[in-house]
């Protein structure tokens, strides 16, 4: 009942606000007439002062008095009469505001709203959050505000913050979890990924130190080893990066889900793919851009891989650049290949050709706009590689 009373009061207030300019129209006209009459009376008094002061003659005063009197009579003639009736369109407007708008709002609420739904305050929603992630986060935050030394709470909340891209909150949560529960590979890797997200995909010096601490606890941690190798690649040390990626590939299981990406970085740094993904005839449906997948133009063939093994570093780099330029040309003819654009942007970035990487990003976003999922993946890759994304909208 209280709800409907509030609705009625709000409706009345809104109607009054809308009707006020229409109802005060006649009053405004009366005020204007009264003001004009007062001005003419003042002019008559001033005329007498000018006559007494000898500024005008009697004939001039009589003429001016007659003209001012005529105007005063014309204005004053409307004062005792009834106020002018409101215009016809104003009546329709008033009826629309008073009747149609409230009825229309009521019908819309009854058809699309839930008047039978009981109210559920924040306290009740926090007690039974269900699958509402926002409420779950709010509940955890409320608990941690009361118990800030609960390391397990920070440990649970940190990856949720990272998945929802609240990277600054994620960094604080990871640091608190490490401080209270001690370092672990999962916590240190999560903190490193958070630091990279804050720096738009760049493995900063602090992130590298965190990753190396993680590797001291778990030397075979593939995620930490991958990001350490990526830091070498981003620092412009392709030989060291290639060796690090090759060591990771050689020690990874043949069906490791990260192996296609590792092989891609090996190829980009002048090496030949290793492991089960090296064979070009083995397509990888989960990662079409992996080396050897024939669905992506520009991937190395079996002959390319064999030839690369016997080349010098300079010749291998020249061969890779030729394949990248071939991929670029094929994408210009057929731009509807999303995985090809991912590969091209990454290839130019690894070759330290930032201008062409930026150009490839723009062309890829023209084919796959930033508003779509594929466009967002292109932008995320660009941030990871340190490519400027200014002027592009997500």
79 Rama class: left (phi>0) / alpha (psi -120 to 50) / beta: alpha
- Taking residue 278's Cβ as centre, other Cβ atoms within 10 Å add up to 19
- Work out the burial of residue 391: count CB atoms within 10 Å of its CB; fewer than 13 is exposed, 13-18 middle, 19 or more buried: exposed
**Which pLDDT value is given to residue 192?**
93
In a domain, 294, yes or no: no
Alpha-carbon distance 328 to 360, whole Å?
Answer: 8
In a domain, 37, yes or no: yes
Q: Tell me whether residue 343 is in a domain.
A: no
Domain count, the chain: 1
Is 97 contained in some domain? yes
In a domain, 56, yes or no: yes
273 touches 292 (CB < 8 A): yes
Residue 390 burial (C-beta neighbours within 10 Å; 0-12, 13-18, 19+): exposed
> Pick from 86, 66, 82, 63: which is nearest to 74 by CA?
66
- Does 306 map to a domain? no
Q: Could you tell me the maximum CA-CA distance found in the chain, to the nearest angstrom?
A: 123
What is the 8-class DSSP label of residue 394?
A: -
pLDDT value for 181: 94
- The whole-number pLDDT of residue 210 equals 93
Q: Measure the CA angle with vertex 196, ends 191 and 197; round to 5°.
A: 95
- Strand ranges (DSSP E) for the chain? none
Please, are residues 168 and 187 in contact by the beta-carbon 8 Å criterion?
A: no
Crossing angle (nearest 10°) for helices 205-217 and 185-198: 170
* Residue 150: CB atoms within 10 Å: 18
Reported as a single tens digit per residue, the pLDDT across 84-118 is 554 555 666 766 767 777 777 778 777 776 666 66
Instruction: Evaluate whether residue 277 is within a structural domain.
Output: no
pLDDT in the model for residue 291: 40
Joined tokens for residue 130? 């269900």
Distances 223 to 50, 178, 242, 355 between C-alpha atoms, Å: 100, 18, 16, 29
| pTM: predicted TM-score of the whole model, two decimal places | 0.44
Q: Assess contact for 167 and 194: CB atoms under 8 A.
A: yes
For residues 68 and 23, give the distance between their C-alpha atoms in angstroms, rounded to a whole number.
Answer: 32
Structure confidence at residue 82 (pLDDT)? 46
Rounded to the nearest angstrom, the gap between the alpha carbon of residue 297 and the centroid of all alpha carbons in its chain is 33
Q: Identify the segments of the chain with pLDDT beneath 70.
A: 1-4, 19-34, 75-92, 94-95, 97, 113-132, 273-320, 390-394
The range of the structural domain enclosing residue 41 comes to 2-77+90-112
Cβ–Cβ < 8 Å for 33, 79: yes
User: Residue 96, Cβ neighbours under 10 Å: how many?
Assistant: 12
Q: How far apart are the first and last CA of the chain?
A: 45
Exposed e or buried b per residue across 39-75, where buried means at least 16 C-beta atoms within 10 angstroms of its C-beta? ebeebeeebeeebeeeeeeeeebeebeeebeeebeeb
* Residue 302 is assigned to a structural domain of this protein: no
């Amino acid at each position: 009942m209280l709800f409907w009373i509030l609705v009625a009061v709000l409706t009345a207030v809104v109607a009054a606000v809308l009707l006020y300019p229409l109802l005060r129209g006649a009053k405004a006209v009366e005020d204007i007439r009264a003001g004009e009459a007062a001005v003419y009376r003042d002019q008559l008094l001033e005329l007498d002062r000018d006559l007494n002061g000898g500024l005008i003659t009697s004939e001039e005063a009589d003429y001016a008095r007659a003209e001012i009197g005529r105007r005063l009579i014309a204005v004053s003639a409307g004062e005792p009469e009834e106020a002018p009736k409101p215009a016809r369109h104003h009546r329709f407007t008033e009826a629309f505001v008073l009747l149609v708008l409230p009825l229309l709002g009521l019908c819309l609420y009854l058809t699309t709203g839930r008047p039978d739904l009981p109210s559920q305050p924040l306290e009740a929603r926090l007690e039974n959050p269900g699958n509402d992630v926002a409420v779950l986060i709010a509940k955890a935050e409320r608990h941690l505000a009361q118990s800030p030394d609960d390391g397990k709470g920070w440990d649970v909340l940190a990856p949720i913050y990272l998945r929802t891209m609240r990277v600054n909150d994620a960094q604080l949560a990871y640091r608190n979890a490490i401080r209270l529960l001690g370092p672990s590979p999962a916590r240190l890797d999560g903190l490193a990924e958070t630091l990279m997200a804050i720096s738009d995909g760049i493995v900063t010096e602090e992130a590298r130190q965190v990753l190396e601490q993680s590797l001291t606890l778990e030397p075979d941690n593939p995620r930490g080893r991958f990001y350490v190798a990526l830091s070498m690649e981003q620092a412009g040390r392709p030989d060291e990066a290639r060796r690090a990626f090759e060591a990771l590939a050689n020690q990874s299981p043949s069906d490791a889900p990260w192996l296609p990406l590792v092989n891609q970085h090996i190829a980009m740094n002048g090496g030949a793919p290793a492991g089960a993904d090296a064979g070009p005839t083995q397509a990888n449906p989960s990662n079409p851009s992996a080396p050897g997948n024939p669905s992506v133009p520009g991937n190395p063939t079996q002959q390319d891989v064999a030839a690369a093994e016997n080349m010098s570093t300079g010749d291998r780099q020249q061969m890779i650049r030729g394949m990248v330029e071939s991929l670029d040309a094929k994408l210009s003819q057929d731009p509807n290949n999303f995985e090809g654009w991912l590969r091209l942007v990454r290839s130019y970035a690894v070759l330290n050709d930032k201008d062409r990487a930026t150009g490839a990003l723009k062309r890829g976003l023209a084919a796959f706009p930033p508003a779509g999922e594929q466009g967002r993946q292109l932008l995320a890759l660009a941030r990871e590689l340190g490519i400027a994304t200014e002027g592009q909208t997500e």
